[in-house]
Structure formats: structure tokens, C-alpha cells
Amino acid sequence: MSRIYRIGVIGFAHMHITSLIDYFLELSNIDWVACADTVPEVPSISSEPGTRRANLQYAVEKTGMKAYEDYREMLEREDLDIVLFCPENARHGEVAEAIAKKKVLMMITEKPMASSLSEALRMVRSANYNDVELVVNWPTTWSPAIRKVKELIDTDEIGAVWQVKWRNGASMGPLAYGQKITDWEKGQEWWHQERAGGGALLDYCCYGACLARWFLGEPATSAFGIRANFTSHYGDADDNAVILVRFPSSMAILEATWSTVNTGIPSGPIVYGTTGTIVVDQGKVLVFKDRKSKEPTNVFENLSLPEGRDTLAKEVIHHLETGEPLHPTLDIPINLDAMAILDAGIRSAKSRKMELVDNVNWCIG
């Protein structure tokens, strides 16, 4: 019989923390122990759904966890096996380091891995030193269509891949899904603060960085980034961004937007190969191999994930109890390479020049 896992939660800045909690609420062998938020540099004003106050309240009400004022005190007092953490992107390194010193079995955060490659490496070094597993969750990992794309690439369905294109779906930014919140209140949220790791580039280009790295099977070499704030002047973070990424034998275009009412066309991802094109559209995978036809050659739909490993919670518990590898997009190597792409894109947007994509050997300090 499966053991009971004692879970703690740190950080309620990212609204995806509620999804991570929901995954584990589906399991019967979980003991919800305690939670605590980080203290933001700029106090959050709103309590609307998706804000840190609402996320913390959701967690306590759903799980019955004890809430601490200070996450360090929580770590000192409580015995934990797994810690979920979703603070501001810029504080992932700080919190991960504190969790690792507790020597839990596993710590799990939500994409992106961090706000910089140096912070991501800080997380990995702490995890390795303390023998703690570090997992980065991606909503795209749980898309059967995305899994099918990788399968088709690996079986040469469209020949050699030379470009991956990612653009997020229609989005008007965080807290723009029916919440009653003023622009002033939005500006107080970390999402719109560059220093806290906010902005559309980290929020959405990260998906493309991870998928391009996974699809193409090799690290990137350089990147050119553009960032802008077109409609969110109540904050100093970008609300639109593009990163052009060079790989050894291919390229990727990563687009992020917080100001798109409707995409107009399928946003993908789209993968271009020497003998065809793959398009993800509303959960379907379309393969086009006829140059003159607008109709797909093949359509894959009604797809599914492996039974017993179709959610984050099931996947990590399966891994802990069997020793079988995690899905590669959850593991460290691909996440570090994805973070390196984002880091280069951010540096490029500041320097207005193409920047090399660093790695563990070239990112010092």
C-alpha cells in the first residue's frame, strides 16, 4: 500500500498553486500539514480570485492546513515529505534553498523555473547538495496533443525539424478573467513588477522555451529578445515579448502576449519540418504534408495520457514509489536549458543585441 506523504505549501503569488493543490487533493495518501506565503516587496491590495490572498484562502479552506506567517518558521517546526512552492518568480531560488535545507523528499514549483539562469542554478545546487528532488511543473506536460507532437517528431513524420513556433492563446494578462480589479490594484501585483520576475516574457515565452528544447532534442546556442509594455503602464514589466532562438540546426520563435483578445488563427505550437508541418489546434494534432492542400493529411484527436500518470500528483508519486523517471519536461536538464533561453532573451532585450545562451559552465556567480 502506498505510504502517506506529508505536504506543505510555500508561496501563493502564482495562481497556479491552486491547480497544484487540486492535483494532490485527488489522492487519498496525502496529509496536508502547513502552508505560508512569502511577503511581497509591494503589498498586494486585492483579494479577487487569483490574487495571493485568495490563493492562500483557497488552500486553507480546501485542505485544512495550518497557516504560518513565516515560511521559515514553518520549515523549522514541521515534518514534511513534499513541498509545493509558488512564490514570485524572482524568489524561487531563495525559497528552494530554504526547502532543500529541510531535506524533504521532493520540492515542486510551477513554471517558469526561476527569473534567471543564475537563480535556477542556485535551486539545482541546493537540491543536489541536500539530496532533494526538484520538479518544475508545466501545464503543457499534461496535454495529450503536446505529447503526440513529440512522438510524431521522433518518428520522422515531417522529416527533419527546422523550426518550432510558440505563441500563447488569447490573453489579456493575469487577473483579467472576470476579476473586479482596478489598474492601480493590478500595478500592486507582482505580475506587473519586473524586479519580482513579472512580465509576459517569463510568463509565456517559457512554455515555448521548454517545448522547443524538448522537441528539438538539443540546447539552444543564441537568442534575440524584444520586450515591450503596450497596454499595462500601471506596472514596469513587459506585457508583450518575442524571443528568436537559434539552435545548432534549427530555430524557434517564442511569442508572449498579455494583450490579445483573440488569436485569429491556431496558436499552436506549430512545428515545421522538411516534409511537412504539425499544428496543434484545440487539442487536435493536424499534420500537413501536401503543399497545395489546406486540408490536413492526418488528424489525431481524442488523445489520452498514460493511465495512472495523467496528472502531476500521480506522476510524482509513481516516480517516488517505483523509481521510474519523471517526464523529461518536469526534470532538471530540460528546465535548465529552457531557463538559459529565457535568460539570454532577457539579456538580449536589454542589450538590443543577440546574446549567447549560457549553461552551467558559463553562468558563474
| pLDDT 10s digits, 96-151 | 999 999 999 999 999 999 999 999 999 999 999 999 999 999 999 999 999 999 99
Whether 148 and 261 share a structural domain: yes
Burial of 258 (C-beta count, 10 Å sphere; 0-12/13-18/19+): buried
Whether 227 and 95 share a structural domain: no
Whether 177 and 211 share a structural domain: yes
74 φ, ψ (degrees, to nearest 5): -60, -45
- What is the domain range of residue 129? 5-139+308-329
Model confidence at 332, pLDDT cuts 50, 70, 90, reads very high
Model confidence at 225, pLDDT cuts 50, 70, 90, reads very high
- Residues in a beta bridge with 5: 30
Burial of 57 (C-beta count, 10 Å sphere; 0-12/13-18/19+): middle
245 φ, ψ (degrees, to nearest 5): -120, 130
203 in a structural domain: yes
- pLDDT above 70 as % of the chain: 99
DSSP code per residue over 171-236 = B--TT-SS----HHHHHTSGGG-GGGT-SHIIIIIHHHHHHHHHHH-S---EEEEEEE-SS-TTSS
Average pLDDT over residues 246-254: 98
Model confidence at 359, pLDDT cuts 50, 70, 90, reads confident
Q: Tell me which DSSP letter residue 140 carries.
A: G
CATH of the domain at 33: 3.40.50.720
Whether 154 and 174 share a structural domain: yes
Whether 135 and 152 share a structural domain: no
Model confidence at 248, pLDDT cuts 50, 70, 90, reads very high
Q: For 63-105, how does the pLDDT look when each residue is reduced to its tens digit (9 = 90+)?
A: 999 999 999 999 999 999 999 999 999 999 999 999 999 999 9
Domain count, the chain: 2
177 in a structural domain: yes
In degrees to the nearest 10, what's the CA dihedral of 44, 335, 136, 41?
Answer: -20
Average pLDDT over residues 223-239: 97
pLDDT at residue 253 greater than cutoff 70:
yes
Mean pLDDT (the chain, rounded): 96
Handedness of CA 177, 179, 184, 185 (dihedral sign): negative
Q: For 157-173, how does the pLDDT look when each residue is reduced to its tens digit (9 = 90+)?
A: 999 999 999 999 999 99
Question: Which residue type does 285 have?
Answer: V
Q: Tell me which DSSP letter residue 118 carries.
A: H
Whether 92 and 214 share a structural domain: no
Model confidence at 337, pLDDT cuts 50, 70, 90, reads very high
Q: For 273-321, how does the pLDDT look when each residue is reduced to its tens digit (9 = 90+)?
A: 999 999 999 999 999 999 989 999 999 999 999 999 999 999 999 999 9
Whether 172 and 292 share a structural domain: yes
* Model pLDDT, residue 1: 43
Whether 266 and 346 share a structural domain: yes
Count CB atoms within 10 A of the CB of residue 184.
Answer: 10
Collect all residues with Cβ–Cβ distance below 8 Å to 35 and sequence separation of at least 6. Answer: 8, 9, 10, 12, 56, 59, 60, 63, 65, 66, 67, 68, 74
pLDDT at residue 217 greater than cutoff 90:
yes
Whether 259 and 294 share a structural domain: yes
In degrees to the nearest 10, what's the CA dihedral of 14, 17, 19, 22?
Answer: -160
Whether 323 and 282 share a structural domain: no
Whether 350 and 211 share a structural domain: yes
* Model pLDDT, residue 365: 62
Can you give the pTM of this predicted structure?
0.96
* Model pLDDT, residue 361: 83
Collect all residues with Cβ–Cβ distance below 8 Å to 171 and sequence separation of at least 6. Answer: 204, 257, 258, 259, 260
- Residues in a beta bridge with 110: 137
